[in-house]
Structure 1
Amino acid sequence: MVWKLFAFSTLAVAARDISTIASTPRLPPLVAGNPSGLEMKEARIEPSWIISGEPKARVAEHSRGADGAGATAIWDCTAGHFRWYFAWDETVVILEGSVHVTDADGNQRLLRAGDIALFRAGTWATWQIDTYVKKIAFLRRPFPMVVANAWRVIKSLRGAGRGTGLGG
């Protein structure tokens, strides 16, 4: 009985998602451009998160997934020391400058141009920017646990790693 309820719930969520995607206006199949060509807008850092300095951040959205669960943006910031909350999974690639990052467990890392890092959704990190940093951010909203578990079951049933090139 539990499996039937689980299967029905999973199918209901999938049907809702498919109908939502089907009703979404067609988006261009390719979105390309140079980060320097995007219009940067002020991205205010929550004042209570600032530890020291007067960091000024800006952001430009590059693209957004049709389902609203992913986005790509360019973000930059001047010198300052602040905490940051990651509401979504965020993979960053540092384009210019550097940042000293300390995670909630106290692990420290210097990220410089060319470095890549993942910040998990629901976590805090402290950012210490000595002069300037510019990053590209790939954001992904995590699935609710019931959907994530259903996805794992589906992957295991069909054989993980087929079709995506990424093992999923």
Structure 2
Amino acid sequence: MSKSIVVAPATTADRTAGPVTPSWVLSGKPETRSKELARSHDRTSNVMAWDCTAGSFTWHYSKDEVLVVLEGEAFITNETGEERRIGPGDVVFFPAGTSSKWHVPKYIRKVAFLRHTMPRPFGLAVLAWNLFLRIVGLQVASPLMMVLMLDPIGL
């Protein structure tokens, strides 16, 4: 399987519009637009361009998310009640399984890096596997991909 570097403008205009999940909305009528810019070959990570109009809502994170604010601002409140303003250039990390209240006064645009989490023992096994491959001078590949490459008919 070939891999290539992906370059995509975060300002792309062809994002898909949609409302915030209605049960998450606290006030206003926030509308979002999003577009997937890239996805990893193992489909565990992706990069999204996202923007949102004015409103307040609670966002529930099912994946780890790192975001970089490109334009506008929002006030986010974590599960302990601490509120923070985020604006252009700010980087924020939301672990999978958490929730955050968002208040967008006017508009916000971000790029988000999302990653599916895996149980800690599996993550440690993948790290150990990759370290082993680097030590012996082989190209890094996931254990599953190595099994599939070495046993293509799945026996």
Q: Please tell me the TM-score bracket, short chain as reference.
A: 0.7 to 0.9
Q: Does 1:30 align with 2:11?
A: no
Equivalent residue number for residue 66 of structure 2: 91
Equivalent residue number for residue 105 of structure 2: 130
1: CA distance between counterparts of 2:112 and 2:102?
A: 15
Q: Name which of 75, 80, 93 aligns with 2:50.
A: 75
Please give the TM-score of this superposition, normalised by the length of structure 1: 0.73
> CA deviation digits over 1:13-72, x for unaligned, max 9?
xxxxxxxxxxxxx35411102122351101331101100000000101100011010000
| Aligned length in residues | 134
Asked if 1 retains the 8 angstrom alpha-carbon contact of 2:3 and 2:41, the reply is no
Return the letter of the residue paired with 2:28.
G
Equivalent residue number for residue 145 of structure 2: none
Q: RMSD over aligned Cα, in angstroms? A: 2.1
Asked if 2 retains the 8 angstrom alpha-carbon contact of 1:27 and 1:66, the reply is no
Equivalent residue number for residue 40 of structure 1: 15
1: CA distance between counterparts of 2:94 and 2:18?
A: 19
- Give the secondary-structure state (helix, strand or coil) at the position aligned to 2:11: helix
Asked if 1 retains the 8 angstrom alpha-carbon contact of 2:19 and 2:30, the reply is no
Q: Name which of 22, 38, 49 aligns with 2:24.
A: 49
Q: Does 1:113 align with 2:92?
A: no
Offset at residue 154 of structure 1 (A): 5.5
Cα gap change, 1:77 to 1:144, in 2 (>3 Å): same
Please give the TM-score of this superposition, normalised by the length of structure 2: 0.78
Q: Name which of 115, 139, 143 aligns with 2:118.
A: 143
Equivalent residue number for residue 37 of structure 2: 62
Asked if 1 retains the 8 angstrom alpha-carbon contact of 2:35 and 2:50, the reply is yes
2: CA distance between counterparts of 1:104 and 1:47?
A: 20
Return the letter of the residue paired with 1:72.
V
For structure 1, which runs of at least 5 residues remain unmatched after alignment? Answer: 1-25, 159-168
2: CA distance between counterparts of 1:81 and 1:73?
A: 21
2: CA distance between counterparts of 1:119 and 1:65?
A: 20
Identity across matched positions, percent: 32
Return the letter of the residue paired with 1:134.
R
Whose helix proportion is higher, 1 or 2? 1
